[in-house]
Amino acid sequence: MDREMVGTTGRDRLRVSVQRYGTKAVVSPAGELDHHTADLLREPLDTLIEDGFGTLVVDCTHLEFCDSTGLNVLLGTRLKAEAAGGAVHLAGMKPAVAKVFAITGAEAVFTVHDTLDDALKE
């Protein structure tokens, strides 16, 4: 019998989509963001910064899990974006993901929105 295993090393546990809106881009990770999947999010974020997008919104609506590696990807992206004159906003965090940000204090360095619509209004 096949069973889905939480915590497996498969990179298929995270899907990332990107939408562009003028100088803003929305990056939507879905699934589990951890050591094994972090590059799947890091790569499009780095590309968007290199391409000159001023505001990156990470839509966390479908992000089920984020460990310290995932948190470091987002923190590193924030630093790169700010160095380029931009910003990173987070939207729609589920309680399990928000808890990681609250425990580490990382929520204090991001602009966090309840919904993607709220983030896009800024």
pLDDT confidence of 12, banded at 50, 70, 90? confident
Alpha helices (H) along 1-122 = 38-50, 68-83, 95-104, 116-121
Which pTM was predicted? 0.90
Record the tokens describing residue 58, joined without a space. Answer: 């990470």
pLDDT in the model for residue 9: 57
Q: Is the confidence at residue 1, as pLDDT, over 80?
A: no
Q: Is the confidence at residue 5, as pLDDT, over 80?
A: no
Q: Is the confidence at residue 7, as pLDDT, over 60?
A: no
Alpha-carbon distance 14 to 94, whole Å? 16
CB–CB of 33/14 below 8 Å?
Answer: yes
Q: Roughly what angle, to the nearest 10 degrees, separates helices 38-50 and 68-83?
A: 0
